[in-house]
Amino acid sequence: MLAPLVALLVAAGGPADAIKAKTVPLNHLKLTNPHHGLPSKNQSAMSSKAVSFGAFGRGGSQSSQSSGLPGVDTLANWGSSFTAPGFDINGKPQSVWPFFMVGGPPERGDTTIIPAPIIPVFVDLLGPDGSVLATMDPTGFVEPVRRSPMFLPFRYDSGFTQFNDAMFRAEFVDRIRGRHHDDDDDNDWHVLLFPRVKGAQRMQIPINHWFVGVFSDGTIAFALVDVDVFVNELFPSTFPVDNTTVIGAAELAGDMTTRDLTTLLFNNIYLYENGDPNNCCILGFHSIDVEPGVPSNGNRPRLYVLDFASWITPGLFAFGFEDITALSHEINETYHDPFINNLVPWWLSQDPVTGVGQCQPFLETGDVVEVLSSLPVYQVNMNGRTYHPQNEATFNWFARQSPSRALRGAYSFPDETTLTELSPLLTVNCAPVKK
């Protein structure tokens, strides 16, 4: 097990006392509701920025079969639609549901390589005087992430390949040209990530906006950060961008481009809402930074696609969430909904034991499973380590296919037993459909 990499200043009577005053119990994370995704108010700000630069509105873009999102400068993507009964966000019946996904269309039968920068982000926890009390250092986890099933091949039923490519090949097996879903034909359809470790970035969090959990030896196990402060430190709010935010600095350095699927990698940083560390914990999210066009790209809006996730130290969360669980959740959702505008029929996923559930109308593959206490993660043994990617709901589950047209009729991947039934047909906020 890798020890958490934390530079802790322990000058007597100063930083140590300040950190002690900001400490929550080590079992705090096991008592909270771990989930993923930006709160609606933060995500609405991203969507408003996209609309202001003429990119698109949530759910507002349509596409013809296999064409990508039109009129923007962004990573390789393809569009299509499915037909299923359902209701839109206003409660009106809808049967045709357009979507965009990463890569090229299955029918084309070729391989798309997506550049995938990994940017380590240091987090400085500041004291009352603005000095650095502790630093959450992610660099020790970069290599384990790069050598994980997110970026290196592993044997799945749909082939020997990366995790997300294997899932694509399983859920769209009926659309792949040649349907070579059970071999390693390099001339078949693939959507692969090509990782490159880029320069580290840094954010600083004022003392009123963080808490920590501490191991018995005094080292910091995790840090909780206010989501509003975190988002402000992450995303540029002005144009032209400057280097005062993590994403702005990475864009200016050329470490994030519009052709990339960028991972911002942290060390055990989790987010809380409404100023309350008990209103916790957001483990990660995927999003876009939208910037206006420039003459060199034909003045098309620029969409930078990204995910934020932390390496998770084993034992902090219940139900086996550790190492790359959050990262796998976010990269998989990015594959399936890179621009966060794929609307689907309203769905409900609820754990029968804990009662925790999710209700929403978006194509978020990980959110369906994250609430389940049974089989939420899948073990992959490779490179001398056991990784714990999250099981995911397949596209076929959202498309309400019965039976599923995925490989062997599955609704979940890689563990096909995680989801075996569709959500009931629902309307706004998962209310039952009136008969």
Under the banding of pLDDT at 50, 70 and 90, the label for residue 2 is very low
Q: Would the pLDDT of 187 be above 60?
A: no
Residue position matching structure tokens 């519009």: 258
Mean pLDDT over 240-255 rounds to 96
**Is there a contact between 148 and 136 (Cβ–Cβ < 8 Å)?**
no
The torsion region of residue 183 among left (phi > 0), alpha (psi -120 to 50) and beta comes to beta
Residue 38 lies in a domain: yes
User: Which element (helix H / strand E) includes 201?
Assistant: strand 201-205
Reported confidence tier of residue 185, pLDDT bands at 50, 70, 90: low
CA dist 131 and 362 (Å) reads: 42
3-state secondary structure at position 276? coil
Q: Mean pLDDT of all residues in the chain?
A: 90
16 located within any domain? no
**How far apart are alpha carbons 301 and 157 in whole angstroms?**
39
Q: In angstroms, rounded to a whole number, what is the distance separating the alpha carbons of residues 132 and 176?
A: 53
- Per-residue pLDDT tens for 18-31? 888 899 999 999 98
Please determine, for residue 3, whether its predicted confidence score (pLDDT) is greater than 60: no
> Does 4 reside within a domain?
no
User: Does 10 map to a domain?
Assistant: no
- 11: tokens are 């000058």
Q: What is the pLDDT of residues 58-98, one digit of tens each?
A: 444 444 455 789 999 999 999 999 999 999 999 999 999 99
Per the domain annotation, does 169 fall within a domain?
yes
Residues of the chain with pLDDT > 90: what percent?
79
Residue 32 inside a domain? The answer is yes
Q: What confidence tens digit (pLDDT) does each residue in 345-395 have?
A: 999 999 998 888 999 999 999 999 999 988 899 999 999 999 999 999 999
Beta carbons of 220 and 10 less than 8 angstroms apart: no
* Whether pLDDT at 283 is above 90: yes
Q: Is residue 8 part of a domain?
A: no
Domain of residue 420: give its range: 26-430
Strands 269-272 and 220-226: what pairing? parallel
- Give the per-residue pLDDT at 177: 67
CB count in 10 Å sphere of residue 313:
21
Q: What is the pLDDT of residue 51?
A: 65
7 in a structural domain: no
Q: How many domains does the chain have?
A: 1
Q: How many residues does the chain have?
A: 435
**CA gap 328, 179 in Å, rounded:** 26
Enumerate the β-bridge partners of residue 8.
Answer: 134
Structure tokens at 269: 């940083």
